[in-house]
Structure 1
Amino acid sequence: MEESIFYKRIKKLANELGKSFNQIEKELGYSRNALSNYKTQTIPSAIRLLELAEYFDVTPRYLLGMDSIYSKKQEKANFAEFLFKNLDKNQKLEICKFSQIWMLQELKEEQTQN
């Protein structure tokens, strides 16, 4: 039977941390083999999903295989790009104008402080 995406991802993350499932289970207070039980299509409870996402510092959506965003930091960076890509041309131009004005103000403030 094929391993579930959830299992593959927690296994990968555990390997990256250099930890065994048993170590992680002890740290999180889970019963022995709790993580191995996800090898097949078993889905974790919402609470366990959130605990594991927090433990590995990844998004719950990543653990479930719903997207390829790996970390919370990456998710935040991609969110700004996602928003910008979904603006129409006029909105993008307004953002660019606003950014230029903001950058000029920042430069002026730096110059007055020096």
Structure 2
Amino acid sequence: MSEESVFYKRLKGIVKQSGKSVNQIERELGYSRNALNNYKNIIEPSGSRLLKLARYFKVSPEFLIGEAEAPSQTNIEIIFKSLNEKQKLEMLKFCQNWVENIIKNTQFSDK
């Protein structure tokens, strides 16, 4: 049994965070079935496929191939989906308070 590539480990992680199945993502990208599973072994995608996957998941290509430790772009939807219900409610309360403070501290002129 061979070791998974860095690319495949990272791909699996962001697929899981997306809440979608690999097959669903392959369909959305127009790839053949199991196209993404072909990267399980030490195979890396072509440059064009790497860029397409990075844009789809809103991460940097460098992150996907292991040259960066963290994605340079953050997809707030992925982060939100990874939260449990209690955390989502806490986030909602935080955002409501933040917006209320912005509105309260904003001076509106009658021009």
| TM-score > 0.5 by shorter chain | yes
Partner of 2:72: 71
Alignment of 1:11-22 (within 5 A): 11-22=12-23
1:2 match: 3
- Residues 24-79 of structure 1 show CA distances to partners (whole Å, capped at 9, x for unaligned) of 00000001100000000111000000000000000000000011121325xxxxxx
Give the residue type in structure 1 aligned to 2:5: S
Choose between structure 1 and 2 for higher RCO, CA contacts under 8 A separated by at least 6 residues.
2
Looking at structure 1, the residues matched to 68 and 11 of structure 2 have their Cα atoms a distance apart, in angstroms, of 15
Structure 1 residue runs of 4+, over 4 Å off? none
1 or 2, which has the higher helix percentage? 1
Letter matched to residue 49 of structure 2: R
CA distance in 1, matches of 2:19, 2:73: 20
Higher Rg of the two aligned structures: 1
Q: Does 1:55 align with 2:59?
A: no
User: Normalized against structure 2, the TM-score is what?
Assistant: 0.63
Q: Which runs of 5+ in 1 are unaligned?
A: 74-112
How much has 1:20 moved relative to structure 2? Answer: 1.1
Identity %: 55
Q: TM-score, normalised by structure 1?
A: 0.62
Gaps of 5+ in 2: 75-108
